[in-house]
């Protein structure tokens, strides 16, 4: 069970406010490092194991650097994610490129970096050959179709629990055919990959997925007469967003995968397979928070608390109705005897971080800590209503803090518009040619 405690005290938050105004996302370096170490330990039984952090979850070079120091690689799916990873020093087998509907520029970039390329479709074999050439190692992404039952996602939002409805991956026949054609074009070692369910709270997800992929690997290596050396369990390991929700035990997950490995791959003579993962949410989700200030209160048919943050800073509640726990800093032990809707200022009625939430009495100026924004939080930010994306702060292991992304300014927001005829009015006193 997980009780929800902030990793930041009110005093620490006040300290940071001296340099960085709210709203900002803050990340806990210590938590991220310790979690990464647990994962590497849980899979240390597997010789070639590597976690490839899903960059889309938290695309910040400081975070990628921390994970690199902990032995992780990166999972990219776009040109800019590849650029970001390259800047941090990732190269070759430290990069997994799991994209879909891939533009040729992106594929070329991945090939140029020597990344492991994961093909989403059988038609990508010829595409890869044409735009970048077929490398020695290639992965293919599997879609078993039908439904994948492990219906334990708390969010009630398991995008990928009906693989038959998901746009990703290919059928088993297409995998075999792709492997044969890749082999004919010079590939020598192969990997398989699948992502079947999102935000799973179950120590059984990876083991069940592993069993499916291990059996598939045994069949494919015979059917296509190829050497399958890598099995990528992708992402989907979830975190408890709600208090009292059970938590995944990464050691039980690692052990569950090991049992399937011993049972299926070892007897098939495939004990040299390296296990890869591409977790995003589980890597950084709980080690991030959105810190915001209560700036207004409103009493109509319900009680509202208005924040200086909005859905542009954290889209999950508006987009999925996702629960994010809230703590009022400095009132951790106060009774939760008030019912509020905690809202942002977008002209959209779904811009609510919490609906009918029991919280302590909130006063204007209180610091509102929104939990678990470390993955798919800031990264999903957008600029609707001209709202500017907030800063990102790293709470370092030594207790210091560091601004790792500044807040956007109006200039950032306007940077792509053509203001030539209006420049003096927009930015008085600034040089037109800069």
Binding site for ligand PLP (CB under 6 A): 54, 56-57, 75, 98, 195, 198, 234-237, 278-282, 375
Residues 6+ apart with CB under 8 A from 105: 79
CB nearer ligand PLP, residue 73 or residue 235: 235
Instruction: Read off the DSSP letter of residue 19.
Output: T
Q: Nearest distance from residue 99's CB to ligand PLP, in Å?
A: 8
Q: Which is nearer to ligand PLP, 144 or 330 (CB)?
A: 144
Query: What's the first-to-final CA gap in the chain, in angstroms?
Result: 55
Question: Which residue lies nearer to ligand PLP by CB, 141 or 387?
Answer: 141
Q: Three-state SS for 403?
A: strand
| Residue 160 beta carbon to ligand PLP: minimum distance, rounded to whole angstroms | 9
Minimum separation from the CB atom of position 205 to ligand PLP (A): 11
Work out how close the CB of 381 gets to ligand PLP at its nearest, in angstroms, rounded to a whole number: 16
Nearer to ligand PLP, 160 or 395 (CB): 160
Which of 195/353 has CB closer to ligand PLP? Answer: 195
Give min distance, CB of 284 to ligand PLP, in A.
9
Q: Which of 408, 372, 425 has its CA nearest to residue 7?
A: 372
> What is residue 265's DSSP assignment?
I
- Closer to ligand PLP by CB, 212 or 403: give it: 212
Strands 367-371 and 288-299 turn out to be antiparallel
* DSSP for 131-150, written as a single string: HT---SEEEEEB---S----
Work out how close the CB of 118 gets to ligand PLP at its nearest, in angstroms, rounded to a whole number. Answer: 8
Distance CA 138, CA 164 (A): 24
Triad 19, 85, 276: Cα angle to 5°? 120
Q: How far is the CB of 182 from ligand PLP (least distance, A)?
A: 19
In the complex with ligand PLP, which residue's Cβ is closer, 236 or 256?
236
DSSP 64-127: HHHHHHTT-EEEE-SHHHHHHHHHHT--GGGEEEE-SS--HHHHHHHHHTTPEEEESSTTHHHH
């Amino acid at each position: 069970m997980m009780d929800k405690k902030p990793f930041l005290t009110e005093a620490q938050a006040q300290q940071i406010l001296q340099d960085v105004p709210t709203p900002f996302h803050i990340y806990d370096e210590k938590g991220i490092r310790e979690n990464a170490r647990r994962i590497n330990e849980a899979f240390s039984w597997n010789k070639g194991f590597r976690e490839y952090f899903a960059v889309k979850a938290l695309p910040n070079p400081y975070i990628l650097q921390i994970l690199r120091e902990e032995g992780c690689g990166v999972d990219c799916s776009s040109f800019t994610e590849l650029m970001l990873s390259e800047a941090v020093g990732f190269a070759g087998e430290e990069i997994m490129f799991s994209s879909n509907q891939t533009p040729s520029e992106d594929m070329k970039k991945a090939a140029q970096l020597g990344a492991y390329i994961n093909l989403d479709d059988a038609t990508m074999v010829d595409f890869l050959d044409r735009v970048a050439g077929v490398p020695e190692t290639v992965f293919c992404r599997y879609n078993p179709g039908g439904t994948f039952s492990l219906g334990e996602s708390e969010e009630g939002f398991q995008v990928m629990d009906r693989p038959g409805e998901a746009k990703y991956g290919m059928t088993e026949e297409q995998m075999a055919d792709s492997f044969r054609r890749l082999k004919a074009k010079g590939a020598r070692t192969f990997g398989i990959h699948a992502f079947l369910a999102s935000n799973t709270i179950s120590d059984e997800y990876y083991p069940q997925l592993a069993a499916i992929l291990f059996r598939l690997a045994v069949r494919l290596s015979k059917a296509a007469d190829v050497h399958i050396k890598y099995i990528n369990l992708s992402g989907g390991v979830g975190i408890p967003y709600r208090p009292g929700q059970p938590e995944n035990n990464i050691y039980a997950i690692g052990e569950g995968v090991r049992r399937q490995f011993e049972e299926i791959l070892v007897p098939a003579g495939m004990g040299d397979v390296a296990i890869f993962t591409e977790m995003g949410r589980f890597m950084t989700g709980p080690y991030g928070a959105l810190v915001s200030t209560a700036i207004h209160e409103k009493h109509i048919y319900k009680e509202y608390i208005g924040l200086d943050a909005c859905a542009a800073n954290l889209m999950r509640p508006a987009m999925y109705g996702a629960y994010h726990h809230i703590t009022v800093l400095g009132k951790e032990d106060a009774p939760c005897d008030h019912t509020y809707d905690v809202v942002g200022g977008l002209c959209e009625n779904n811009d609510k971080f919490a609906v009918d939430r029991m919280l302590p009495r909130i006063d204007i100026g209180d610091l509102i800590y929104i939990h678990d924004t470390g993955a798919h939080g800031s990264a999903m930010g957008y600029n609707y209503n001209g709202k500017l994306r907030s800063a990102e702060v790293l709470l370092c292991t030594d207790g210091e803090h560091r601004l790792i992304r500044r807040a956007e300014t109006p200039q950032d927001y306007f940077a792509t518009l053509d203001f030539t005829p209006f420049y003096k009015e927009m930015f008085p006193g600034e040089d037109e040619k800069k």
